[in-house]
Amino acid sequence: MVESPSRSLFKKAGFVFTIALSLWAITDENISVGKALQQHEPSLRVFRSLLEVNLLFFCTAAALFVWSKTIGQSTIEALLFQPLKLSGAHPENADRHVYAMTEVNDDEVLQEDDALDADYASDGEVDRQEDLDEKLYIPTAASVANAALNMLFTILVVLFLFTLSSISTAKHSVEEVASNTNSSGLWDLFSRVTAPVFPLLLFLYFLLRAIFPWRRKRSFWAVVFMTMSAPWHPVDFRDGFIGDIITSSVRPMQDIAFTVFYILSGLRGWWSREYRDGNFIDSADASVPAMERSWLLHTVVLPMCMVSPLWWRFLQNLRQSYDSKQRWPHLGNALKYCFAAQIAMFGVFNPDQKKSVLWLTSFVGATLYQLWWDIFMDWCLLVRVDERWKLRSTRLYTKTSVYWIICGANLVLRFCWTLSFVPPRYLNASGVLKESFSGDVKNILGPFIASAEIVRRALWGLLRFEWEATKRYSDRKSSFDESQDGLRNEIELTPMKIKQDEYRKSSNAFSVGHSWKMSSMNEVQIIGELGVYATAFWLIGTLAAAHRGTL
């Protein structure tokens, strides 16, 4: 008998609550989760990155649930989950199929994977065409929530083991240490050797789960690759939507990059005492862990994790401008990502600039521009009617308060988006590790910036997806009723196009005049102009790096 999704969710939630309660139960004045993580910062980064990814899963499940109840499963399928041809063809130019929504049961999936492995073992290989046309499992809110709970339970179990194994001589009383120095020393050695192993194994486990079985995971990675490979193909709604989500995942990406370097550092990095024996911030001492004074990590890899998502979205907008032969609104959107990248790069490579009036003014100005773009362009939320600003009349969420609440939350949390691009630490020109922000900002905002940005992006996505569905199917409003779910064969992923009349109603200021059009230009002229913008994007960042003496 197959267990119902809701029953499975409640059961797994109970497991998560139990292990969380166990973590609380072992806490006393000598040991706690926080103290254990403070003793070994690389482990803290592993757990933090995985928990942030887990939060992204929960937000995805919540968004899918809301959309399925208000917009319809077939529209979710059509806009987000149409399969790609793995040959590299864009969906617009490839034969597309929209598969039926399928409830994914973990046991059934495992059985199917075993059967597929058996096919490989018996036949040597599976026919490629059959492989491409295989049935696609499209995630539902219940399946994603189940996966998120499984992931959270695994993380908490490993965190529990890590906390227990991190008990050092501090757990023993002074009398015990004095009477049995050898015993406490052995326990401390056991703690140092064992504790870092748990987060490493946890990270490797989820890394393998993200890749294997490849037959089921490659569709996801193909979509990610399409986002990263801009501007070599037309950009549809899904590409841009995934690209925006990636721009909100910079902090987890930086922690994952750090963890990969940490793993590659070998035994010297895994069991380094320097993480436990002192504070290595603002220290030029040779005892600073090798990972924390790595020029390659702090000056190349982490800044690349910061700027790459913005670069991908910037290129996507250039491609949209190329396809539509229009500068507006695509170059206006590209400007948003360019501003964020320059502010972040100057914040990293010229950290003293964060205290300057120019940097702070640029930061506030860029954030206000992003807010304006959210409201009037991404959501088309306000329209000018009878000399007054009002919510647009065509809405798919029944409660008006939903729009105002999301708008207000986005207003408050938008500032976290730009801050999330700046790594919490940087290596200065003298090779000394420094904090990117002052103590007060670090202590208050540090733990919440990444999580707040993921939550903000989820709220942003609720209105962005709703507006895309409204914009495409406003003439078929009845199709969104619960009793009608038959758009599956009519909806296709097409390159993102802006309905200019809708945007004119919203902004009341922008019209596509001759100066915004590139239809009179030939291909070489258009590519040349867009190439200038792409070159300027990197030249400004290179200037910031060269000014610091990095290059």
Residues 434 and 299 in one domain: yes
Structurally, how many domains does the chain consist of?
A: 2
State the pLDDT confidence band at 465, using cuts at 50, 70 and 90.
very high
- Mean pLDDT for 18-31 is 79
For residue range 36-58, list pLDDT tens digits in order.
Answer: 887 788 888 899 999 999 999 99
Type of residue found at 466: E
Question: Does residue 280 sit within a domain?
Answer: yes
Helix 449-473 to helix 73-80 angle, to the nearest 10 degrees?
110
Comparing CA positions, the residue from 383, 464, 449 lying closest to residue 412 is 449
- Mean pLDDT for 412-435 is 74
**Top-ranked range on mean pLDDT: pick from 226-235, 315-324, 425-434:** 315-324
Predicted pLDDT at 519: 85
Residues 144 and 166 in one domain: yes
More confident residue, 77 or 111: 77
- What pTM, to 2 d.p., does this model score? 0.82
Cα gap 412→402, rounded to integer Å = 16
For the CA atoms of the chain, what is the radius of gyration? 26
Question: Does residue 118 sit within a domain?
Answer: yes
Cα gap 487→476, rounded to integer Å = 10
Cα gap 147→61, rounded to integer Å = 9
Peptide bond into 213 cis (omega under 30): yes
**Top-ranked range on mean pLDDT: pick from 33-37, 134-138, 293-297, 361-365:** 361-365
Peptide bond into 196 cis (omega under 30): no
Residue 178: how many CA atoms within 13 Å on its side-chain side? 3
* Boundary of a domain, candidates 168, 192, 220: 220
Residues 249 and 151 in one domain: no
Give whole-number Cα distances, 325 to 235, 295, 376, in Å. 14, 42, 22
Question: Does residue 486 sit within a domain?
Answer: no
Predicted pLDDT at 543: 73
CB count in 10 Å sphere of residue 169: 17
CB count in 10 Å sphere of residue 362: 18
Give the DSSP H/E element, type plus range, for residue 390: strand 388-391
More confident residue, 205 or 439: 205
For residue range 249-289, list pLDDT tens digits in order.
Answer: 998 999 999 888 888 876 555 555 555 555 656 555 555 66
Encoded tokens for 129: 């065409």
Structural domain span for residue 7: 1-220
Cα gap 325→533, rounded to integer Å = 15
For residue range 154-188, list pLDDT tens digits in order.
Answer: 999 999 999 888 775 445 444 444 455 555 556 66
Residues 258 and 166 in one domain: no
Predicted pLDDT at 447: 66
Give the DSSP H/E element, type plus range, for residue 388: strand 388-391
| Adjacent-strand bridge partners of 434 | 426
Give the DSSP H/E element, type plus range, for residue 35: helix 33-39
More confident residue, 485 or 518: 518
Q: Find out whether 408 and 402 touch, Cβ atoms under 8 Å.
A: no
CA 80 to chain centre: 16
| Adjacent-strand bridge partners of 162 | none
Cα gap 196→186, rounded to integer Å = 16
* Boundary of a domain, candidates 189, 220, 251: 220
State the pLDDT confidence band at 196, using cuts at 50, 70 and 90.
confident
Residues 381 and 498 in one domain: yes
Predicted pLDDT at 253: 93
Predicted pLDDT at 280: 59
Comparing CA positions, the residue from 352, 401, 402, 407 lying closest to residue 374 is 407
Peptide bond into 231 cis (omega under 30): yes
Question: Does residue 479 sit within a domain?
Answer: no
Question: Does residue 228 sit within a domain?
Answer: no
Residues 295 and 247 in one domain: yes
* Boundary of a domain, candidates 220, 255, 289: 220
Residues 55 and 137 in one domain: yes
Comparing CA positions, the residue from 17, 9, 13 lying closest to residue 106 is 9
DSSP one-letter code for 397:
S
> What's the mean pLDDT when you consider all of the chain?
77
Residues 213 and 348 in one domain: no
Predicted pLDDT at 536: 92
For residue range 520-534, list pLDDT tens digits in order.
Answer: 899 999 999 999 999
Predicted pLDDT at 175: 44
Question: Does residue 480 sit within a domain?
Answer: no
Question: Does residue 481 sit within a domain?
Answer: no
Q: Find out whether 412 and 459 touch, Cβ atoms under 8 Å.
A: no
| Adjacent-strand bridge partners of 383 | 390
Residues 134 and 60 in one domain: yes
Predicted pLDDT at 309: 94
Spatial CB neighbours of 330, under 8 Å, sequence gap ≥ 6: 317, 318, 320, 321, 324, 498
Residues 135 and 237 in one domain: no
Cα gap 209→138, rounded to integer Å = 18
Encoded tokens for 275: 């993480």
- Mean pLDDT for 478-492 is 43
For residue range 308-357, list pLDDT tens digits in order.
Answer: 999 999 999 999 999 999 999 999 999 999 999 988 888 777 766 666 78
Cα gap 151→55, rounded to integer Å = 10
Predicted pLDDT at 403: 96
Residues 35 and 172 in one domain: yes
* Share of the chain residues as helix, strand and coil, in percent rounded to the nearest 5: 70, 5, 30
Residues 418 and 444 in one domain: yes
Question: Does residue 9 sit within a domain?
Answer: yes
Give the DSSP H/E element, type plus range, for residue 435: strand 433-435
